[in-house]
Amino acid sequence: MATETDKDVSSNGFAKILKESWHTDLRLMAGNSNGFAAISAHKLVLAARSEVFKKMLETEVTKASSDHETLIFSEMSHEELETLVDFMYNDHGSVSSSKLKKHARSLYLATQRYEIPHLRDLCRNELISSLSASNALDVLEFSQQVPLDKPLNDAILSYIARNINTFLDSGEFKISVARNPNLAVEITKAFLNPIVIPFEYESDDDW
């Protein structure tokens, strides 16, 4: 039977107190909980990971006589929220690759909203590395939902520009530029003036 080493005990401390719900003082709920129970958490941990959470928890809105106040994340599903919380409690600043791949977009939006830079970088890298002919235009439109993230925006535009002939022949391209003419301008600029993308931001799926 495997036993925890001293290093394991030390490095998995936050995850352990989350799993045990040890001295929690906050409940977190997704907007559509679908019968899932609230996630018990610690104000101190969330405040340490995010200045936005710290300010939220300092306001009068979240101060109550109850020992366990509740924060509702209306924009997230339970599984997405659970993944976000797991990251916040991960001593190594990581998240499982399968969950990151599945929830990259939702988590990316959350990192922008709650200012969690390291998770934002992980999500950005996942979005870039998974670019393909079938999703690049969709990811480009998605990226317009947040303040300009230059590394993400440049990587997507560069990917499309490098494979411009394939995109020009697609019905999706025509629909996207009709819906958002500014995208056509940005793609044209990227094609005429190629963007140099750092190696770590390159897609794994160039043709």
Give the SS3 label for residue 70: strand
Could you state, in order of their start, the residue ranges of all structural domains in the chain?
Answer: 130-207
**pLDDT number for residue 59:** 76
Cα dihedral value 68, 74, 80, 81, nearest 10: -10
**pLDDT number for residue 132:** 94
Which residues are CB-contacts of 61 (< 8 A; sequence separation ≥ 6)?
none
Per-residue pLDDT of the chain (207 residues; tens, 9 = 90+): 455 555 454 457 777 877 777 888 899 999 877 667 899 999 999 999 999 999 998 874 545 545 678 899 999 999 999 999 999 999 888 899 999 999 999 999 999 999 999 999 999 999 999 999 999 999 999 998 888 899 999 999 999 999 999 998 888 888 988 888 888 899 999 999 887 766 555 554 543
Distance, in Å, from the CA atom of 104 to the CA atom of 123, rounded to the nearest integer, reads: 5
Q: Which CATH number fits domain 130-207: 1.10.1200, 1.25.40, 3.30.457, 1.10.150?
A: 1.25.40
**pLDDT number for residue 152:** 95
Under a CB-based contact definition with an 8 Å cutoff, are residues 87 and 95 in contact?
yes
Which residues are CB-contacts of 22 (< 8 A; sequence separation ≥ 6)?
16
122-139: burial string, b at 16+ Cβ within 10 Å, e else? bbbbbbbbebeeeebbeb
